[in-house]
A and B are shown apart, each in its own frame.
Chain A
């Protein structure tokens, strides 16, 4: 495994420790691979030995009943769990073959490349322009900020609605617009992976379908991991679906397979609404 050129920072060194198990059929260019990963909050085991490959430029949906560890697994992928002091992890998560839980991995640099969109839209209480430009600015972006903001808002399908009020406070936007602004804010950092934690759960159906369309467009450029409690949504927008139950990964396959002929009985039960 060679370090990809996209990783010039010495802080993200290639992990040479090959002793841990790796999924065998993993395509080498998969941006994220979860290897035998476990996570505990104190004594509560929230993720149990999960192994999973997230292929590039596809939408991977994570479904499962609430409390099964979807958000925890997602947050593990850009180390947003670091801020919970009781968290203990075991195993590895590889970002481009680098173990992000290794001591010499810098989570600050990781989070620029693996962005996150949260369940509730959380724009900064600043102008729309500053919301998009801030992340780029603090990460030393050297291009033209005006162009970057316009381009990001366009990719997030928000430009036409806000182009005349870029200096208005972002909190004056509707919930759906705020969520697209949060997506634009993440895209502005030119990340490789976008993690989305139930991004539509606080939105109305029209705003939801706009975000779903957007996710569909985003996958041409980005790798998307989408947590959702809504199975129809997973079926509509994802290429692959992961089913989790009580911290365990039960089954992962192409979405069409999961929703038509899953191998596991538990998946079948969940899909057909027998529990959860």
Chain B
């Protein structure tokens, strides 16, 4: 870097460039180290789980039912299918209700004391521990609605759990859509609904999608609320209807880690790898949809 010619007039500025650059570099190194720490934690966790369960990964694991007596033949077919059922049902319920509520609150509702009260409560609900939702699900869906200890009760409970997160994420995505877009549509004689449906929602969709995927990823990793609504650790069937009994991957993993034989601990590690696989698949799917959205927008 060649230094610039000094101006002849006496300057009131003291740039102290060397010092500022030094602190910039220090800060960069700190940030780099910190991101390294989080990466190291993740990698060591993965390596550990892989060492424990990698050799236990097999097709048998996915196609066999659980077995209490014979760990070598045990699989997590019911848990895998239970998790898929839960994810799909929870997605259907929470996406419709969540986007609907967010659109109403952000685009239609008047900004008065009542809606402010609702906003505040949704934010509070997002921080409620998941076990509390489990108790609510037990009282509401299992007992009161008489859905029993079914995959439907489980999905509805998970829906309650992630709805606040989805509503908040969707509202933020909607609020980030510039108001000039709304005005453009309204000035062309569009109704509010046409404005939202044709312009505001599509513009907010990538943000909404991200929120939904994160929330559902959280939901399928949940254990406590599902135990409350009666997911069972040992079951030798896959759900066939909304009212079928069910289990899920985290529950199966939890069950296996609690058993004394060490073979089951290896199975649990393999189960964790399967769960991570499911999560990664979902995230990849979301990334794919976003990329596709982006592409269709530009062409």
Structural contact, B184 and A80, CB atoms closer than 8 A: no
CB nearest to B182 among chain A residues = A83
Structural contact, B189 and A135, CB atoms closer than 8 A: yes
Q: Is A270's beta carbon under 8 Å from chain B? A: no
Q: Mark B218-231, 1 if CB is under 8 A from A, else 0.
A: 00000000000000
Known: A85-B111, A122-B180, A125-B203. A115 touches B299 (CB 8 A): no
Known: A118-B180, A122-B181, A124-B199. A85 touches B187 (CB 8 A): no
Q: Is B298's beta carbon under 8 Å from chain A? A: yes
Structural contact, B183 and A111, CB atoms closer than 8 A: no
Q: Mark B282-299, 1 if CB is under 8 A from A, else 0.
A: 000000000000000111
The stretch among B51-59, B68-76, B79-87, B190-198 that forms the contact with chain A is: B190-198
Q: Which of A83, A85, A112, A122 contacts B189 (CB 8 A)?
A: A112
Known: A125-B203, A138-B198. A108 touches B180 (CB 8 A): no
CA distance A101 to B178 in the complex (A): 27
> Which B residues touch A167, using CB under 8 A?
299
CB distance from A227 to the nearest CB of B (A): 14
Structural contact, B111 and A83, CB atoms closer than 8 A: no
> Which B residues touch A159, using CB under 8 A?
none
The stretch among A38-46, A149-157, A181-189, A232-240 that forms the contact with chain B is: A181-189
> Which A residues touch B298, using CB under 8 A?
169
Structural contact, A108 and B191, CB atoms closer than 8 A: yes
Structural contact, B180 and A138, CB atoms closer than 8 A: no
> Which B residues touch A185, using CB under 8 A?
184, 188
Known: A118-B180, A122-B180. A83 touches B187 (CB 8 A): no
Structural contact, B189 and A108, CB atoms closer than 8 A: yes
CB distance from A103 to the nearest CB of B (A): 18
Structural contact, A118 and B191, CB atoms closer than 8 A: no
Structural contact, A189 and B183, CB atoms closer than 8 A: no
Structural contact, B186 and A111, CB atoms closer than 8 A: yes
Structural contact, B297 and A112, CB atoms closer than 8 A: no
Structural contact, B110 and A135, CB atoms closer than 8 A: no
Q: Is A139's beta carbon under 8 Å from chain B? A: yes
Q: Mark A124-151, 1 if CB is under 8 A from B, else 0.
A: 1100000000110011000000000000
Q: Mark B111-130, 1 if CB is under 8 A from A, else 0.
A: 10000000000000000000
CB distance from A253 to the nearest CB of B (A): 29
Structural contact, B190 and A135, CB atoms closer than 8 A: yes
A-B contact count (CB 8 A): 66
Structural contact, B299 and A169, CB atoms closer than 8 A: yes
CA distance A138 to B187 in the complex (A): 12
Q: Is A269's beta carbon under 8 Å from chain B? A: no
CA distance A46 to B181 in the complex (A): 25
Structural contact, B194 and A122, CB atoms closer than 8 A: no
CB distance from A143 to the nearest CB of B (A): 16
> Which B residues touch A112, using CB under 8 A?
188-189
CB nearest to B110 among chain A residues = A85
> Which A residues touch B190, using CB under 8 A?
108, 135, 138
CB nearest to A115 among chain B residues = B187
Q: Is A78's beta carbon under 8 Å from chain B? A: yes
Q: Is A109's beta carbon under 8 Å from chain B? A: yes
CB nearest to B298 among chain A residues = A169
CB distance from A50 to the nearest CB of B (A): 21
CB distance from A134 to the nearest CB of B (A): 7
Structural contact, A125 and B184, CB atoms closer than 8 A: no
Known: A108-B190, A111-B189, A125-B203. A169 touches B183 (CB 8 A): no
Q: Which of B110, B180, B199 contacts A120 (CB 8 A)?
A: B180
Binding site for B on A (CB under 8 A): 78, 80, 83, 85, 108-112, 115-116, 118, 120, 122-125, 134-135, 138-139, 167, 169, 182, 185-186, 189
7 contacts across the A-B interface (CB closer than 8 A)? A112-B188, A112-B189, A115-B187, A135-B190, A138-B194, A167-B299, A189-B188
